[in-house]
Chains A and B, each alone.
Chain A
Amino acid sequence: MSFKNGLAISYEKLGETHTALGQLDRARAFFEQFTSLMEELCEAYPNHVSFKNGLAISYQFLGNTHTALGQLDRARAFYEKDLQISKELYEAYPNNVSFKNGLAISYAKLGNTHRTRTTRPRTRFLRRSNTTV
C-alpha cells in the first residue's frame, strides 16, 4: 500500500482548515486534490471499504464548498456522486451505523440543494450566467 492515502488525508485537512478560515477557493483546490487521490485509490483497491467511504466524503466536501461558493449545480453533481457511493456502502454493510448515517446525510445534502434551487431562482440565474463554461 503506498502512502497515497496519507497524502489524501493531508489535502483533506488543509481543505477543512481553509474552509474554517473562510478561504473557500483554496479549500476547493485542496478538496479537488483529495478527491482525485481517493478516486485513484478506489480504482486501485476496489474492495477497500474505507477508501470508498473516503471517496464519498471527498465528494461531499466538494459539494459543501461549491454550495458555499453559490455554485449549486456543481454542488448537486457532487452530492449525487456522494449519494451513489453512500447507497452502495449502506447496501453492502446494512449494520454499519456510520454508513447508514452517511447515507442519511447524503439525502439531506441533496434535499437542501434542491430546496435552495427552487426557492431561490435568482441565485440560479446569476450562477448560470457566471459559470456556464
Chain B
Amino acid sequence: MLADLQGRGVLALSQSRAVRTGYQSKDVLREEKPEAIIEAMYDLGQLSREEVALLSIFAVLPAEQIPLDQLEVLCPGQAELEQTLVSLSQKGWLEYNETTTSFKISPVVQQITRKKNTALYEDCEGMIMVLLEKLKYETGINHLINTTYEEAALWVRYAAAVVEGLEAPYKNTRLICNRIGAYFTATGDLIQALAWFEKYEEISTRLCESDQENPDFKNGLAISYEKLGNTHTALGQLDQALAFYEKELQISKELCMRPTPTTCPLKTDWPFRTKN
C-alpha cells in the first residue's frame, strides 16, 4: 500500500475498494471508491483561472514550504501573486506559514491538480523559462552564468521536481534535463549527470516518436547521445561512449540528408571550444 501510494499516487492505486459514503447524497449512503471521493472533494472549477495557474506551479514543485521571495522569482509578471496566494490559503488549497512567510501544498492536492488541470504545462511554462534562465551555463565548460552554485542547488532541486511533475514529454522539460545534467557535470557528480542525460534522451526519444519528421526533436536526440557519450568518456567507459557517438552519427547523417535543410539552432557547445 505504501509503495503504491509513493509510486502511483493516491489517485491511481492498484487496489481499492468502494466504501459507503453520505457525501453529496441525500439521506442515503452510496458506494464510491475513496479516490473518487477525494477527487470530488477538490473541484478546481471553483477556483479562478489565476488560482488554478498558481496551484499548478505548486503541483509540480516539491510539496514543501516555499518562501514568498522564491515564488516571486518563479512567477514573474504575476501582478496579484500575494493576493492569489492568500486566497488559495483561505480556501484551504495551500497552507500558509506565518513565521517563514512561506506556502505549502499537500501531495494530494498536487495530484488532483496535475490530473485535472488540462493546461498544466501552459500554467508552468513561465516558471520553466525562469528555471532554464537560472541554470544557463557557459557552453563548453558548463559554468553557471546567471546564479551562484549555492543558489543553483535549490533551482536544480526545483527543476528536477518539475520534470517529474510533468509527465508528458515537452521540448522545454528536455532542455531542463540538459541544464541539470550540465550542473552536475560542472560540480563533478558524473553519476547524477549521467542519470539526467539519460532522462534527456528518454524525453527526446518520446518527442521523436510523437513527430518523426520534426528536425528539432531529432537534433535534440542527437545532442542527448552526445552528452551521454561525453559523460561516459569522463567516467572512463569508452566503449559505451563509442556506442553513443555512433548513434549520434547515425542521426546527424539523417538530419544532413534531409532534402530541404531547415533553419535550426546550432548544436550546443559550439562556440569557443578549447583545444586539447
Which A residues form the contact surface with B (CB < 8 A)?
A: 1-7, 9-11, 13-14, 16-18, 20-21, 49-50, 53-54, 56-57, 60, 96, 98-99, 101-102, 105
**Once bound together, how far apart are the Cα atoms of A98 and B255, in whole Å?**
30
B273 interface residue, CB < 8 Å from A? yes
Residue ID in chain A nearest B265 by CB atoms:
A1
Cβ B242 vs Cβ A50 within 8 A = no
Residues of B contacting A101 in the complex (Cβ-Cβ under 8 angstroms)? 274-275
- Stretch in B91-99, B184-192, B246-254 with 4+ CB within 8 Å of A: B246-254
CB contact list, B198-256 vs A, under 8 A:
215, 219, 222-223, 226, 229-230, 233, 238-239, 241-242, 245-246, 248-249, 252-253, 255-256
Cβ A50 vs Cβ B252 within 8 A = no
**Once bound together, how far apart are the Cα atoms of A16 and B230, in whole Å?**
10
Cβ B272 vs Cβ A50 within 8 A = yes
B261 interface residue, CB < 8 Å from A? yes
Which B residues form the contact surface with A (CB < 8 A)?
A: 215, 219, 222-223, 226, 229-230, 233, 238-239, 241-242, 245-246, 248-249, 252-253, 255-256, 258, 261, 263-264, 266-267, 269-275
**Once bound together, how far apart are the Cα atoms of A4 and B258, in whole Å?**
11
Knowing A9-B226, A13-B248, say if A3 contacts B258 (CB, 8 Å): yes
Cβ A10 vs Cβ B226 within 8 A = yes
Q: Beyond A10-B249, A21-B239: 16 further Cβ-contacts under 8 Å?
A: A1-B261, A2-B256, A5-B266, A6-B256, A9-B270, A13-B226, A14-B246, A17-B229, A17-B238, A17-B241, A17-B242, A49-B271, A50-B272, A53-B273, A99-B272, A101-B274
A76 to chain B, nearest CB (A): 17
Residue ID in chain A nearest B140 by CB atoms:
A98
Cβ B245 vs Cβ A17 within 8 A = yes
**Once bound together, how far apart are the Cα atoms of A96 and B222, in whole Å?**
29
Cβ A5 vs Cβ B267 within 8 A = yes
Partner of A7, one of B241, B256, B264, B273: B256
